[in-house]
Chains A and B, each alone.
Chain A
Amino acid sequence: MLRPKAKKIIVQFDDGTQTESAFEDLTAHLQRELLKQPVLFDFNPDGDNKKFLLLEWKDGWKEVMAVDSTCREINRYYVITRPEDTGRLSLNREDGYPELIEIGREPLNLKQIGFVNNHEIALKQSDREGKKVDHFFSLKMNGDLLSTIVEGFRKALNEEGIEIKTLSMDTFRQSPGIYPKIARRMGIRAVERQQDVLDFMDYLARNATQEP
Chain B
Amino acid sequence: MVMEVKWCGFDYGQCIMEPGGLRNPRLYGDLYRDLGRPELIPDKIRKYRILKEKYGSYGRIKEGHRDEIYSFVLDDDPEAIELFSEKEQELLDMGEGLEDALKYLQSEGIELQVVSEMKKTLGAVGTDIVSRFLKQRGLVEYFTELVTPQGKINLIDNSVDDKYKGYTKKDGTLYDVLAQELKERGIEPHEAVMIGDKPETDIDPAHERGFKTIKYTGFIDLGPSKADLEIHSFEEIKRILKKKD
Q: Which residues of A does B touch, CB under 8 Å? A: 27-30, 75-76, 88, 90, 96-100, 127-132
Contact = CB atoms under 8 A, between A and B. Distances in A.
Given A28-B46, A30-B39, 8 more contacts: A29-B43, A75-B53, A88-B49, A98-B53, A98-B54, A128-B221, A129-B219, A130-B219
Contacts of B177: none
Contacts of B39: 27, 30
Nearest to B19: A130
B43 A97 contact: no
A27 B43 CA distance: 7
A59 B219 CA distance: 34
B232 to A, nearest CB: 11
Contact of B50 (A30, A97, A129): A97
A29 B220 contact: no
Nearest to A76: B53
Given A75-B53, A97-B50, A129 B20 contact: yes
A137 to B, nearest CB: 15
B50 A131 contact: no
Contacts of A127: 220-221
A132 B20 contact: yes
Contacts of A90: 53
B42 interface: yes
A118 to B, nearest CB: 22
Contacts of A128: 220-221
Contacts of B20: 129-132
B40 interface: yes
Nearest to A98: B53
A57 B196 CA distance: 40
Interface string B44-65: 0010011101100000000000
Given A128-B220, A128-B221, A100 B43 contact: no
A103 to B, nearest CB: 13
- Considering residues A29, A99, A127, which has the most beta carbons from chain B within 10 angstroms of its beta carbon? A29
Contacts of A88: 49, 53
Given A27-B42, A128-B220, A130-B220, A100 B18 contact: no
A29 B54 contact: no
Contacts of B54: 96-98
